[in-house]
Chains A and B, each alone.
Chain A
Amino acid sequence: MGHPHLPPAQGLYRPEQEHDSCGVGFVVHLKGERSHRLVDDGLSALEHLNHRGASGSEPNTGDGAGILIQLPHEFFRHECAQLGIRLLEAGSYGAGLFFASRDPRAQAQAQALFTALVEEEGQHLLGWRTVPTNNASLGQTALDAEPAVFQVFVGRGAGVATDDDFERKLYIIRKRFEKSIDRWGIPNADWFYFSSLSCRTFVYKGMLTAMQLREYFPDLSNPLLVSALAMFHSRFSTNTFPSWELAHPYRMVAHNGEINTLRGNRNWMAAREALFASPQFEDIHKILPIIDEKGSDTASLDQALELLVLAGRPLAHAMMMLIPEAWQGHESMSPEKKAFYEYHSCLMEPWDGPASVAFTDGKNIGAVLDRNGLRPSRYYVTSDDMVIMASEVGVLPVAPEKIVHKGRLQPGKMFLVSIEEGRIIDDAELKSKLATERPYAEWLNRNLLPIDEIPEVEAPLAPDPDTLLKRQIAFGYSIEDLKYILGPMAKNSEESLGSMGTDTPLAVLSTRPQPLYNYFKQLFAQVTNPPLDAIREELVTSVKTVIGPEGNLLDPEPESCHLVSLDIPFIDNEQLAKFKSLKDHALQATVIPMLFPANAGPAGLGPAMQAVFEAADEAIANGAKILILSDRGIDADNAPIPSLLAVAGLHNHLVREKKRTQMGLVVETGDAREVHHFALLIGYGAGAINPYLALDSLAQVQVDGYIEGDIAVDELQAHYLKAIKKGVVKVMSKMGISTIHSYRGAQIFEAIGLAEPFIDTYFTKTVSRIGGIGIDEIAIEALSHHSRAFPARDGGLHELQWGGQYQWRRDGEFHLFNPDTVFKLQHATRTGQYRIFREYTQLVDDQAERMCTLRGLFEFKPDRSPIPIEEVQSAESLFTRFATGAMSFGSISAEAHETLAIAMNRIGGKSNTGEGGEDRRRFTPDANGDLRRSAIKQVASGRFGVTSEYLVNADELQIKMAQGAKPGEGGQLMGSKVWPWIAEVRHTTAGVSLISPPPHHDIYSIEDLAQLIHDLKNSNPLARISVKLVAEVGVGTVAAGVAKAKSDVVLISGHDGGTGASPLTSLKHAGAPWELGLAETQQTLVLNKLRDRIVVQVDGQMKTGRDVVVGALLGAEEFGFATAPLVVMGCVMMRVCHLDTCPVGIATQNPALREKFAGRAEHIVNFFRFIAEEVRGYMAQLGFRNLDEMIGRSDLLDTRRAVNHWKAQGLDLSAILYRPEMDASVATRRVNAQDHGLDRALDNELIEACAKALETGERVSLELPIRNENRTVGTMLGSTLTRKHGVNGLPDDTISIKFSGSAGQSFGAFLPSGITLRLEGDSNDYIGKGLSGGKLIVYPPANSTFRPEDNIIVGNVALYGATSGAAFFRGIAGERFMVRNSGAVGVVEGTGDHGCEYMTGGRAVIIGPTGRNFGAGMSGGIAYVFDEDGTFPSRCNLEMVGLEALDEHEDLDLVQGLLKRHIEYTGSTVATHILQGWPELATKFVKVMPREYRRVLNEARAKTDSREAATARG
């Protein structure tokens, strides 16, 4: 069934891009006591999570809310009795909530169909009840989509022995109904939907806000409606398209998060179905496919879970298969548990992604958290046997003295409430029981075959240098491949970096033959889920794979794990030879040539692919379990099939044939050489890859000098394979995927420039939005290399071509910035000659011959007469629409940074700080009136220099979700580049490396983004908030979410922009052109009626007035420029920004080079004036006086009628130009302001109450209650204080406020000096975010009965990005305590995983247990951990830190002093105990000291000492 009200795919909008996220939770009575009060509590809790849900263009249309309860038998019996339906005891019937079309005839038909199916399955239909509903408060959108709602009652058939059997029957009936309804031709078939159909549980849900649920279903208020459990959910969808069924809970789960590997999971499940056989399910074939392609990720997960459970697995067992914790590399996990996970990894891949999943079968209810712990899940256990679990604490008022325990779900952990057993079964007990049920370790020992255990065989011959060049040419190698790809990887085990983005044509627009790989762009996570940190949080990633035939998922046997296991899937020639040697019938290998006849020409490729399919089918029929695709056999007659085509084609063929899980796929190929290639091969189904030609080439690469030094060949090969591994892990982690196992076949790419029929056949279900070339053109490109390698004649150069992807060459790839355009742009802007500027823009714009960009293919198609240019709005009035790109002070010199700022301030445009903070001297104007302050202050994941003062000095606060050059990745500034002036504005130590994490640690989901937007708005109510996204398929949907999250601006960046250093893979292969992203954004926002409230800005290789006009017509109001202004300032595209050797003084901190900086603000001003003039020229030509009138007028664009290029002919750009058909009243540009709801903030009260303190510094004390809905408390107050009193704020404790209760998220965010917030109770996530000098104190209420040090008191990511101030928490903090702290001090009594991650300054004192991976990426500051049992070192990430004893005076004094204060503020018993044992107990402290920080401190000390010595001598 589809979703009746989602708009169909149109333009660039794709309904499958929907994302959602949310608040989730449950309440349960441990002993199973059923009550209406519990249902009521569930609803109340849900209502207190309302802010985690969202509404769209109408505030009264929610994204969805729902509740799952135990089947309310008493209620149903009572209600049904009145309808004449007789319900016997519970369990004798099942019931379901049924959404139906409002058309009575259709209803009748559907009910008839259902009744027939019930009878066919041997059950009987008891009757239908029309569910009373009250839609009074629903918004129009929800009303338009509102179904008729029924309850259906199905009586248990005679032969059905157990409840479980009955559940299976109901399942089969429901599935059959879903499958049949379309076929029956019932009108509005997609309106019909069962929220649930069970004899145990019942779901009420709908397209409602959390607040509307209770009112909409009066049933829920009926005292007869009782349950012992209630699972609830409030949805925040990126879109607002009406959908009643996409509300949670589903039949078994409610989910906060996102499954990133969905495509792969669905494909694999579908492929597995061929082998499904289960004693429980004789008739399973009737209900295939199990996974409904149209459902959401959660719906699919729910379907998979249902199957596994109904096939007989315990609920928890099934969850462990779907969402396993990170078991590889877990130092303390039991061997049994590891064996459990390893065995099950042979059966299925993980469903990977951030997830807090609540699940229930009506008898048990539990929750599991993903391995990264990227969603908050907190719980209370009370003395009256209640368990309350939710995304936040404080959703239900509970008297403090009744709370027995406050806990949180930890990464990868599960907890289960067994009502049957009347207790909580914790993770350890639960999993250990399941893991020991079967002898998994023994099964593995007997069956799983690690590749090392396959006997050595003679490896293929050593590389043959005589044919090496020939083969390299045949596979399209370039010199750049050797210089930039192979060389650095083989030398450094790492991919090399590049700078300044990419300005080469899209593959489909290039005149040079492109590898098929280049037609694919990597997708990456932004906003709706976080990219992962594969480097610093390596313990959660896994590259281990198993290859071979899978067994029957439903009824596995010991032999189901008879597969080959590999530590990494990138294999050398010896390992490949081992695969080839497998003859054993259970693991027999067959080689299939991946070649096509060269003399057949392009037409030969299609049949050759067919031959590969047939060979594979035959091999499988003959018992092959491992297929090895190989192109080793190339010669003059045989050209290689692009390995990606062969792999993806065969994989999808075998998925279609449902044979894919019966064999493993290994590839032996000459064409794979860069990270992107390997990522694609894995992503399209390859199990293992042997890149023999790349490996063979390494020795020569060394001889050629692209690898310095003398390194043994096998070492080079090992380095290279390691670099590939690291690179692919990074590509996966950008998408939030942790395991290669689930990345395999997940197809997380978008194709640009490939024709639909080609995609359908070989890359099934990959998004390709603008059509393009097909198999013939692919063949031509492959053959062009082959014919160069095996020339029929003399005369050609028998050498590799340059390539030209990374450096411009005359015979290389075309670049928009080339000698001509750089020269003309500089000359024009320096001498102020508009005529020369026009020559420059003509060179850029005139791409008819050498098409480079999609916009180059557009023509203007005016709908009116030209007007005189005098009538067009002035150039000055256009300037406000221009911004310069985010380039940090640090990446570029002060001279360059300030020149940009001065120029933009002169014209009234906006410059951007980038993520490196800003020197406060720039906040005040210079003597000549110039202002060096950047109007846009960026807030990136590193939060460098993001203080209250920085924030109030902004006109715009920009949240960088992703950057064009490397979406989904963090950055690193090497210590050598952290000069003192850089360290100062970043609040760090000179000489110490700085690392930005890949994700914002306060944005793991869309509701988190909404929270950060709210936080920043509070931190500076006068600034507008902007969110920067990078174009990729689905960005429009994300933008809609951003609009709903109340951002004022959304910036869509093209993939090609970016000035910073970035791995080449990301620079080249991640993201999409802005034309696609912008058009999709405009279309989706308009479809959602959200365009009215958000400004759309675009950037990415913007170079000319024409670019601006195209941008406006596609939907942008504002425009960003980065590379071009740099070129104006003298940049000559050296692309060495990352080497600090910029010869023109821009991208360098080296004083000698900075002296050479010759850029002037006047030149930048000239540039923007010229751009504006050009825009005006186009406006006059198109007949518009005001740019506003042109926004979104894509109908004024046409694609060039005469596209002569052989490859571009198949392109269809109409989707980019599509305009959704909407009412005239629907705005297509921003006309309204967002409602940030600041007027409802608690801070208004605080500001008023503290007026005196703010004015005069008089001390003020207050006391107030607080609830979780009170979010970002203290921030607006702090912002007011900072605005008045500047960086130094007020004296400590000038304002002192005490709260009691559970504080909402971001309590005390950016709190400046002079404010102290005390909280008696507990707090949610992000407490003290960006703390800027203020003080935070949290402690449990005096009448609490639990031991504070055993209970969680503050949520995840406390003190993130704090720059100064102090915090004292009496209790345990969640994950990522003090991440990216650069100056605050904090005392806490225990932390979760990843504590003090990325810290660069400040002090942490932890007087309790820590989680794993402590101190990852920590380069500064010091943590003192009280390690009573001596186990801390095993949980600490020692990559960057050393562990020392607490022996220096200053350390002892500091810790002692902080503990004293901790006792004073919180009454901590632990701290008291430690101080009582002082100084003996001081020896139990471990000092976590970053090695680099230690080095810098020692150097500084040595310097001081020698100076002192010199003074003494003097």
Chain B
Amino acid sequence: MAKPTGFMEFKRETPTRRPVPQRVHDWLEVYEDFPVDHLKAQAARCMDCGIPFCHQGCPLGNIIPDWNDLVYRDKWRDAIDRLHATNNFPEFTGRLCPAPCEAACVLGINNDPVTIKQVELTIVEHAFESNWILPEPAAKKTGKTVAVIGSGPAGLAVAQQLARAGHGVTVFERDSRIGGLLRYGIPDFKMEKKYIDRRIAQMEAEGVIFKANVNIGRDIDARELLAQFDAICLTGGATHPRNLEVPGRELDGVHFAMDYLPMQNKRNAGDEIPSESFISAKGKRVIILGGGDTGADCLGTALRQGATEVLQYEILPKPPENRAPENPWPTYPALYRVSSAHEEGGTREYSVMTKSLSGENGKLTHLNAVHVEFVDEGGRQVMREVAGSEFSEDVQLLLLAMGFLGPEKYGMIEQLGVELTERGNVMADENKMTSIPGVFTAGDMTRGQSLIVWAIAEGRAAARGIDQYLMGETLLPLN
């Protein structure tokens, strides 16, 4: 360990966000650059623990103490190798991950945790700048072919791992660009899309074939694919959104977040979208249902589009500022967080349940809601409406960001007839193979809605399973 006393000498420091008045007028990322010498001090805070809980906290098993140490000692080249050893796409996770690693950091027991995420991001960006991240095509081809359906982080991870093992990989994407949720679900102010393009270019050079605008299950029968390829992997995500089942849902002006967010990204990317079909918050009073990250993404987007006012409602109570006793270190804490979007405007309210929507001429005008409380009933938390707390709000645009219920069941899932779990996800064994031999799955499609790190971890595990299936042995790492 480079600096045994680093944690006693340095304080936690994170990059600053650009000024709100400036950033709400563009779609660029909100964070400013973080000076490298400051970053080294941050890395020196790592205690190189006997049990690195961060490494356990990370679904990918990122070997955080190692690269913290390497960064402290200016070994950037080695650091990116260690980082890539467990994570194909640190530039995505370094921007987007909620960092369960930092929640698990041992320093966090009685101090501020190490800024792990920032270290990760800096390592990978420094490596790209230094031109160290080059294609790693396999020296020998196996002659086996694999189809990956869905180009989100899970699909990309599967594809890259398998291509490097020498397999012929084709990635199918029903949208017009590669990237899935990364491309369309994440607003540009959180991650600019050039980073995806940069990675796709590397993968193409490694031999991955990308086929956009092909909807397996509609354009091509999934069973046909099964005949053409030696194995296929389903990485279509958990794209079936939770609906708001209240009177008035059909009114014009009510949209799912995932119908709303992609449009802005596409427009930013230069796609032509007719303005009549473009959902915009400009000049509108907007309500977002759902207090999670997608809700915050909607908030930031709506503010940039020029919404007059944005309200965000969450049905659960406001989380605490500090860890609750039943939520101790190193578990991921449910805390009241202020994301960059929250800094930019909008109002959050908790314990709000929507009862109905009303409108005029088929257009949404009001949301009618009530406050709720949670009471203990025989050990169970039960939700009750607070009598007399009903209220109504003007609204022109209502965005539903209440989570996802699992994969879409029609199309390829139907065609292949893979077994599903009770929750409606695609069932997989420990090698990520579905009930159909040769058909594998990874990411939200099998796991349900989750974090990007989990998607990559799942993709890597599926790649190992597929390689093992195709070759009878595998050298691919487990995670």
Does the CB pair A795–B161 fall under 8 Å? yes
Are A793 and B78 CB-contacts (below 8 A) given A808-B52, A1141-B47, A1143-B109? no
Does the CB pair B50–A795 fall under 8 Å? no
- The residue of chain A having its C-beta at the shortest distance from the C-beta of B84 within the complex is A797
Are A807 and B140 CB-contacts (below 8 A) given A1139-B4, A1141-B5? no
Does the CB pair A797–B477 fall under 8 Å? yes
Residue interface mask A1152-1193, B partner, CB < 8 A = 1: 110010100000000000000000000000000000000000
- The residue of chain A having its C-beta at the shortest distance from the C-beta of B65 within the complex is A807
* B247 at interface, CB cutoff 8 A: no
Give Cα distance in the complex from A788 to B478, angstroms.
15
- The residue of chain A having its C-beta at the shortest distance from the C-beta of B57 within the complex is A819
* B166 at interface, CB cutoff 8 A: yes
Chain B residues with Cβ under 8 A from A830's Cβ? 328
- The residue of chain B having its C-beta at the shortest distance from the C-beta of A831 within the complex is B325
- The interface-forming segment of A248-256, A536-544, A1129-1137, A1437-1445 is A1129-1137
Number of interface residues of A (CB under 8 A): 44
* A705 at interface, CB cutoff 8 A: yes
Q: How many A-B residue pairs have CB under 8 A?
A: 125
Residue interface mask B1-21, A partner, CB < 8 A = 1: 010110110000000000000
Does the CB pair B475–A819 fall under 8 Å? no
Query: Can you report 30 A-B residue pairs in the complex whose CB atoms are below 8 A from each other?
Result: A705-B78, A793-B475, A794-B138, A794-B139, A794-B475, A795-B161, A795-B166, A795-B474, A797-B475, A799-B85, A806-B50, A809-B63, A811-B477, A818-B56, A819-B330, A823-B328, A823-B329, A827-B328, A830-B328, A1130-B109, A1132-B49, A1132-B106, A1132-B109, A1134-B50, A1134-B51, A1139-B4, A1141-B47, A1143-B110, A1144-B109, A1158-B110
Give Cα distance in the complex from A1130 to B109, angstroms.
9
Residue interface mask B452-479, A partner, CB < 8 A = 1: 0000000000000001000101111111
The distance from the CB of B209 to the nearest CB of chain A, in whole angstroms, is 18
* A704 at interface, CB cutoff 8 A: yes
Enumerate A951-975 residues with CB–CB distance to B below 8 Å.
none
Enumerate A780-836 residues with CB–CB distance to B below 8 Å.
788, 791, 793-797, 799, 802, 806-811, 815, 817-820, 822-823, 826-827, 830-831
Chain B residues with Cβ under 8 A from A817's Cβ? 51
Does the CB pair A791–B475 fall under 8 Å? yes
Does the CB pair B475–A1143 fall under 8 Å? no
Give Cα distance in the complex from A1132 to B7, angstroms.
16
Does the CB pair A819–B50 fall under 8 Å? no
Are A811 and B475 CB-contacts (below 8 A) given A704-B78, A705-B73, A1143-B7? no
Chain A residues with Cβ under 8 A from B165's Cβ? 793-795
* B81 at interface, CB cutoff 8 A: yes
Give Cα distance in the complex from A1134 to B78, angstroms.
24
A1133: which of B51, B61, B70 is its contact (CB, 8 Å)? B51
Are A795 and B164 CB-contacts (below 8 A) given A831-B325, A1136-B47? yes
Residue interface mask A105-142, B partner, CB < 8 A = 1: 00000000000000000000000000000000000000
Give Cα distance in the complex from A1153 to B4, angstroms.
13
Does the CB pair B85–A818 fall under 8 Å? no
A818: which of B51, B70, B467 is its contact (CB, 8 Å)? B51
* B142 at interface, CB cutoff 8 A: yes
Chain B residues with Cβ under 8 A from A1133's Cβ? 49-51
- The residue of chain A having its C-beta at the shortest distance from the C-beta of B165 within the complex is A795
Are A810 and B475 CB-contacts (below 8 A) given A795-B166, A1143-B110? no
Chain A residues with Cβ under 8 A from B412's Cβ? none
The distance from the CB of A129 to the nearest CB of chain B, in whole angstroms, is 72
* A259 at interface, CB cutoff 8 A: no
Chain A CB within 10 A, most for which of B4, B85, B109, B139: B109
Chain B residues with Cβ under 8 A from A811's Cβ? 61, 477-479
A795: which of B55, B106, B331, B467 is its contact (CB, 8 Å)? B467
* A500 at interface, CB cutoff 8 A: yes
Give Cα distance in the complex from A384 to B47, angstroms.
75
- Which 3 residue pairs spanning A and B have beta carbons closest together? A796-B475, A795-B165, A1135-B50
* B184 at interface, CB cutoff 8 A: no
Are A1141 and B8 CB-contacts (below 8 A) given A500-B50, A799-B81? yes
Chain B interfacial positions (CB closer than 8 Å to A): 2, 4-5, 7-8, 47-53, 55-57, 61, 63, 65-66, 69-70, 73, 75, 78, 81, 85, 104, 106-107, 109-111, 138-140, 142, 161, 164-166, 325-326, 328-331, 467, 471, 473-479
A807: which of B49, B106, B107, B166 is its contact (CB, 8 Å)? B49
The distance from the CB of A512 to the nearest CB of chain B, in whole angstroms, is 13
Chain B residues with Cβ under 8 A from A1144's Cβ? 109-110
- The residue of chain A having its C-beta at the shortest distance from the C-beta of B161 within the complex is A795
The distance from the CB of A427 to the nearest CB of chain B, in whole angstroms, is 52
Chain A residues with Cβ under 8 A from B111's Cβ? 1143
Does the CB pair B476–A795 fall under 8 Å? yes
- The residue of chain A having its C-beta at the shortest distance from the C-beta of B326 within the complex is A831
Chain B residues with Cβ under 8 A from A822's Cβ? 51
Does the CB pair B106–A1143 fall under 8 Å? yes
The distance from the CB of B136 to the nearest CB of chain A, in whole angstroms, is 9
The distance from the CB of A726 to the nearest CB of chain B, in whole angstroms, is 23
Does the CB pair A819–B73 fall under 8 Å? no
- The residue of chain B having its C-beta at the shortest distance from the C-beta of A820 within the complex is B56
The distance from the CB of B302 to the nearest CB of chain A, in whole angstroms, is 40
Give Cα distance in the complex from A820 to B53, angstroms.
9
Does the CB pair B479–A807 fall under 8 Å? no
Does the CB pair B51–A819 fall under 8 Å? yes
Give Cα distance in the complex from A1156 to B109, angstroms.
10
Give Cα distance in the complex from A704 to B2, angstroms.
12
Chain A CB within 10 A, most for which of B55, B138, B329: B55
Chain A residues with Cβ under 8 A from B161's Cβ? 795
Extra A-B contacts (7), CB below 8 Å, given A795-B138, A1153-B8: A795-B165, A818-B51, A823-B53, A1132-B51, A1132-B109, A1144-B109, A1156-B110
Does the CB pair B142–A793 fall under 8 Å? yes
Chain A residues with Cβ under 8 A from B57's Cβ? 819
Does the CB pair B75–A705 fall under 8 Å? yes
Chain B CB within 10 A, most for which of A704, A788, A791, A807: A807
Chain B residues with Cβ under 8 A from A796's Cβ? 475-477
A793: which of B5, B7, B85, B140 is its contact (CB, 8 Å)? B140
The distance from the CB of B362 to the nearest CB of chain A, in whole angstroms, is 54
The distance from the CB of B143 to the nearest CB of chain A, in whole angstroms, is 12
Chain B residues with Cβ under 8 A from A1156's Cβ? 110
Does the CB pair A819–B56 fall under 8 Å? yes
- The residue of chain A having its C-beta at the shortest distance from the C-beta of B477 within the complex is A797
Enumerate A1121-1150 residues with CB–CB distance to B below 8 Å.
1130, 1132-1136, 1139, 1141, 1143-1144
Chain A residues with Cβ under 8 A from B166's Cβ? 793-795
Does the CB pair B63–A802 fall under 8 Å? yes
The distance from the CB of B401 to the nearest CB of chain A, in whole angstroms, is 32
Give Cα distance in the complex from A1132 to B107, angstroms.
10
Give Cα distance in the complex from A412 to B468, angstroms.
66
Give Cα distance in the complex from A1133 to B51, angstroms.
6
Chain A residues with Cβ under 8 A from B328's Cβ? 823, 826-827, 830
A808: which of B50, B75, B104, B476 is its contact (CB, 8 Å)? B50
Give Cα distance in the complex from A808 to B349, angstroms.
43
Give Cα distance in the complex from A772 to B446, angstroms.
41
Does the CB pair A1143–B51 fall under 8 Å? no
Give Cα distance in the complex from A704 to B82, angstroms.
12
Does the CB pair B4–A1136 fall under 8 Å? yes
Chain A residues with Cβ under 8 A from B479's Cβ? 810-811
Give Cα distance in the complex from A808 to B63, angstroms.
11
The distance from the CB of B84 to the nearest CB of chain A, in whole angstroms, is 9
Give Cα distance in the complex from A823 to B327, angstroms.
11
The distance from the CB of A1220 to the nearest CB of chain B, in whole angstroms, is 41
Give Cα distance in the complex from A817 to B51, angstroms.
8
Chain B CB within 10 A, most for which of A705, A830, A1144: A705
Are A788 and B49 CB-contacts (below 8 A) given A794-B139, A795-B138, A1139-B4? no
Are A807 and B50 CB-contacts (below 8 A) given A705-B70, A795-B138? yes
Are A810 and B70 CB-contacts (below 8 A) given A793-B475, A1143-B110? no
